[in-house]
Homo-oligomer: A and B are copies of this chain.
Amino acid sequence: MPIPIRLSVLLLTAALSATTHAQTTAPAATQPTLLPSLKPDPTPAPNAGEWHKASTTHRQATFPQTTDDGRYWFQLSAPNAKSVQVGIGNRRYAYEKDASGTWNAFIPYQGPGVKYVTVYVDGVPMPEPGTDIFYSNGWKAALESPAPGEDYYATKDVPHGDVREHWFKSTVTGTYRRMFIYTPPGYDDTTIRYPVLYLQHGAGEMEQEWTHSGLANFILDNLLAEKKAVPMIVVMNNGFANRPGEPPAGARGPGGARGPANPSQVTAFEEMLIKDVIPDIDSHFRTLADRDHRAMAGLSMGGGQTFNIGLRHLDTFSYLGMFSAPLGNINTLPEPLNDAAAFNQRVHAFWFSAGTTGSDLTIHNNARAFVDKATQAGIHATFFESPDTQHEWQTWRRSLHAFVPLLFKQ
């Protein structure tokens, strides 16, 4: 019961444009709010009093400094610059220049989780130079902002699984590709076979970001230590694929616009996942290689891929997680949902999530409407809300943390 290709393309296109809007910092068309730096009086000394290096300030940098309540102090030497600003989300803060040509900015708490920080020197954007780098529509500096009450992604004193960089040859793309695979603590000490979650990133990211930005491995380690989840393998693959000689997927066109994925790119990823990735994982890892022990989930574009590919391959997957997946307005339910009793028996989790605010609001409302419509048709579907977060990593960390305990318990 395949979903027509056209719907897949529409959904993926919607995913691509939604994330283009949401994940780039301050698109040129939108005028960001320029806020003053909140300079304390007197200016503190680095590493004195309440100020210390941030966890994301790299080994050789002294700045950014932070406080336990999540204020940040940025510093840049730029004696010849006329203006220096730091952009976080859709806000910008002005630095102030001191007599030595050093610029300082003090900013208030920005909310929980990953915050991209771009410095504008006379209008030219650059990653904040003291901060660790992640991939989000290009290489971006990103702070880890404190999240009171949320420690489920911390590096705790519990057993830790490995994350493997694993190279495989795709028969669909004709290239060697990299994927990352989480194996649970103790994997090497047993002969047990494990269920597998296939976990996809969004249109702005790459295969490493579910562990790098999302800290997915620590979320799993902690859930396992608390016995809230069953041990599983997690496979994190690059969500873009193109056939030999065809244009690369996920690139940007002239002027920086990200065009819609073409139909061949959409089916190339699907074919690669089914024909190359899953067999490679089942041959190299001790998996339980049947639909009852296979889940798929993803964020944003990856949620759209999960929705499309999952529903089209219910012989392969039995748990589906759509995190901030831009579904658009779906007027008629996809075909597999027409027989609710059969669907509910086959699909052990049909799970949607979104943040309640800002750049996730439209996605939230559309997903909510879809879940309501499916529920009215007798489908067992779940909708999870991440309070006060947008189309951002904190929404997806919370989603993974809430979704994983549901898996493989049937």
Contact = CB atoms under 8 A, between A and B. Distances in A.
A139 B127 contact: yes
Interface in A330-380: none
A258 interface: yes
A76 B125 CA distance: 11
Contacts of A162: 164-166
Interface string A54-97: 00001111100000000000001011110000000000000000
A7 B396 CA distance: 51
Contact of A251 (B60, B123, B169, B285): B60
A174 to B, nearest CB: 10
Contacts of A135: 58
Interface size class on chain A is 35 or more
Contacts of A58: 135, 138-139
Contacts of A59: 206, 240, 248, 250-251
A57 to B, nearest CB: 10
A252 B124 contact: no
Contacts of A176: 155, 157, 160
A139 B132 CA distance: 7
Contacts of A165: 162-165, 211, 217
Nearest to A160: B167
Contact of A138 (B60, B125, B167, B258): B60
Contacts of A168: 160
B127 A126 contact: yes
Contacts of A138: 58, 60-61, 129-130
Contacts of A129: 125-126, 138-139
A202 to B, nearest CB: 13
Nearest to A137: B60
A227 interface: no
A217 to B, nearest CB: 8
Q: Most chain-B CB neighbours within 10 Å: which of A60, A157, A206? A: A60
A22 interface: no
Interface of A: 58-62, 76, 78-81, 121-127, 129-130, 132-133, 135, 137-139, 141, 155, 157, 160, 162-169, 176, 188, 206, 211, 217, 240, 248, 250-252, 254, 258, 284-285
29 contacts: A58-B138, A58-B139, A60-B251, A60-B252, A61-B252, A62-B252, A76-B124, A79-B123, A80-B122, A81-B124, A121-B122, A121-B124, A124-B126, A125-B129, A126-B127, A127-B127, A127-B139, A129-B139, A132-B139, A133-B139, A155-B167, A162-B164, A162-B166, A163-B164, A164-B164, A165-B165, A165-B217, A188-B284, A188-B285
The 3 closest A-B pairs by CB, nearest first: A126-B126, A160-B167, A163-B165
